[in-house]
Amino acid sequence: MRCLGVFVLFAWIALASKASAGEFRSLEKLKVEPFTLTERSGKTISLADLRGNVWIAHFFYPTCQGPCTKTLPLMRRLNHWFAGKSDVVLVSIALTGDDPQLLAQFARDQEASETQWLFLTGKGDEALEVVQRSFFQRAVRNPDAKPGNEIDHSTSLVVVDRDGHMRGYVDGTDHNNIFGLVDAVRQTAAERYWRPAVNAGLNALCAILLGAGWLAIKRRRETLHIACMLTALTVSIAFLASYLWFHFAVLGGQPTRFRGEGWIRPVYFAILVSHTVLAAAVAPLAIFVAYQGLRDRRPRHVRVARWTLPIWLYVSITGVVVYVLLYQVYPPY
């Protein structure tokens, strides 16, 4: 049964060469089997090293005079398209067991990024076996083939998610497919960024509660005021926990880089710095004000609240602004 399943899978993925213009063919999170190959720099690269990135697998060999003459230009376009997008990596697997130094020269000829476009190879038929076993793609030697046509191989460009699952592919010989491929990569990369949207929602909710609490006390509705302000404090604590979890558990402490250029950069960082500094200040202030209010120490509560409320409101609103600029207007993927 396993052999039959693999045969059907080979036949299914082989249809990639018949994909229509712009079409991205989805796969149901098919797992890439573990592999280890050598990068052009001489460094050993395994599947585990690629985890955490969204990557595009490409199969070629430097002397190919067939489909590689079409897939390589498309990879060069992708290299420029995703330049600086640290979440996206291109992975080209050379099928002829090329020397890493020769592969490095070939990569330079392609103007390939040293960090974002990897060129992998193996000894003998090792790379062929990896393509067959790990990606379920076609890669076999042609008997008595003419120079430049030594290997019959898949022309698929395969999108792999952060957990090492193939999410789909396009036919790399049709350059119209770049648009469907780019959209698929962006959608796959964006999947890890759902929590910042939740955090922005918590900030927005906090701002609404603060406004409602202020209106309530203006109208002498103390019970409603207390409910709104305590709920706002709870929401802020939930935001802080969610924010720390995302940045340390998901991103591993790595910052999300802002991709905007020009005048928007100083504007963004001015907002970000003021937001961060005031957020650190408002946390103890909010707890202090809430404590004084609950202890019915009204003079002190009112005196400190007059400063705390606008700062807290500013922090909540700018939290939403930072999210919109960082993840929507200038997304990191």
**What is the full per-residue pLDDT of the chain (333 aa) written as tens digits?**
444 344 434 444 444 434 444 588 888 878 999 999 999 999 999 999 999 899 999 999 999 999 999 999 999 999 999 988 878 999 999 998 878 888 999 999 999 998 899 999 999 899 999 999 999 999 999 887 788 888 999 999 999 999 999 999 999 999 899 999 999 998 898 888 888 999 999 999 999 999 999 999 999 999 999 999 999 999 999 999 999 888 887 777 778 889 888 999 999 999 999 999 999 999 999 999 999 999 989 999 999 999 999 999 999 999 999 999 998 898 877
Could you write out the three-class secondary structure of 214-249?
Answer: HHHHHCCCHHHHHHHHHHHHHHHHHHHHHHHHHHHH
In this structure, are 125 and 199 located in the same domain? Answer: no
Residue 187 within any structural domain of the chain = no
Whether 181 maps to a domain, the answer reads: no
Distances (CA, A) of 137 to 33, 82, 94, 196: 12, 25, 14, 36
Q: How far apart are CA 267 and CA 271, in angstroms?
A: 6
Contacts of 38 (CB under 8 A, 6+ apart): 44, 45, 100, 120, 121, 122
Whether 12 and 100 map to the same domain: the answer is: yes
In a domain, 185, yes or no: no
Same domain, 156 and 218: no
Same domain, 133 and 198: no
For residue 179, being part of any structural domain is answered with no
Is residue 168 domain-shared with residue 211, that is, in the same domain?
no
Residue 281 CB neighbour total at 10 angstroms? 15
Number of domains in the chain: 2
The CATH number given to whatever domain includes residue 34 is 3.40.30.10
Q: Is residue 184 included in any domain, yes or no?
A: no
Same domain for 270 and 226 = yes
Looking at the structure, tell me whether residues 16 and 142 fall in a common domain.
yes
Buried-exposed string 82-103: b where 16+ CB fall within 10 A, e elsewhere: beebebbbbbbbbbbebebeeb
| 203 in the same domain as 146 | no
Range of the domain at 243: 193-329
The amino acid that residue 139 corresponds to is: A
Instruction: Determine, yes or no, domain membership for 178.
Output: no
Determine the Cα–Cα distance for residues 186 and 81; give it in Å rounded to an integer: 11
- Do 277 and 151 fall into the same domain? no
- The amino acid at residue 254 is Q
User: 83 and 232: one domain?
Assistant: no
| Residue 212 and residue 149 in one domain | no
- Domain finish residue from 118, 140, 173: 173
User: Does the residue 183 lie in any domain?
Assistant: no
What CATH number has the domain bearing residue 209?
A: 1.20.120.80
